[in-house]
Amino acid sequence: MITAIVNVQTDGRRIPEVATALAEIRGVSEVYSVTGDVDLIVMVRVAQHEELADVIAGEVNKVDGVTGTTTNIAFRAYSRHDLESAFSLGLDG
DSSP string covering 11-78, please?
Answer: -GGGHHHHHHHHHTSTTEEEEEE-SSS-SEEEEEEESSTTHHIIIIITTGGGSTTEEEEEEEE-S---
One digit per residue, the tens of pLDDT, for the chain of length 93 reads 899 999 999 999 999 999 999 999 999 999 999 999 999 999 999 999 999 999 999 999 999 999 999 999 999 887 666 556 655 555 554
Q: From CA 25, how far away is CA 63, in angstroms rounded? A: 10
- Within-domain flag for 93: no
- Within-domain flag for 75: yes
CATH number assigned to the domain comprising residue 77: 3.30.70.920
The number of folded domains in the chain is: 1
> pTM of the full predicted structure?
0.83
- Within-domain flag for 79: yes
- Within-domain flag for 63: yes
Structural domain including 45 reads: 2-88
Q: From CA 10, how far away is CA 66, in angstroms rounded? A: 4
